[in-house]
Structures are given as structure tokens and as C-alpha cells.
Amino acid sequence: MKDKKLEKLIRKVSGQPLQKTKKDRFVDPTLRATRTPESAEDEERKHMFKEMKRREF
């Protein structure tokens, strides 16, 4: 805690903005268990949409 306060004070005096730390996002483990397995059709669909994004209509 003391190091954080010291770092904050140094940044305040030097005029640099504090860099915010990213917190790990919480993911419910049951979501993975209930997700349907990916099939070959899913891979083909992803590839098709990726190609469609590249082109302009």
C-alpha cells in the first residue's frame, strides 16, 4: 500500500497521468460447459463472414 501511495505522489508531482491496471474479467465456468462444440460448418461460416467483411457491396 505504501508503494502505491508513493507512486501516486510521484506521478502527481511529475504531471504524468496514472496508468489504470486492467482487472481480469470474470467468466462464469458454466458458460463453457453449456456451449455447443464447434463444427466444420461453424469454421466455414466464420471464414465466409471474414471474407464478406473485406469486400464492399
Question: Cell 471464414 belongs to which residue?
Answer: 47
What number is the average pLDDT over the span 8-31?
76
**How would you classify residue 15: left for phi > 0, otherwise alpha for psi between -120 and 50, otherwise beta?**
left
CA-to-CA separations, 31 to 23, 36, 37, 41, 46, in angstroms, rounded: 20, 10, 12, 21, 21
Whether residue 17 contacts residue 11, with contact meaning beta carbons closer than 8 Å, is answered with yes
pLDDT at residue number 18: 61
Query: C-alpha 31: how far from its chain's center?
Result: 17
**Per-residue pLDDT tens digits for 1-18:** 688 888 888 878 887 666
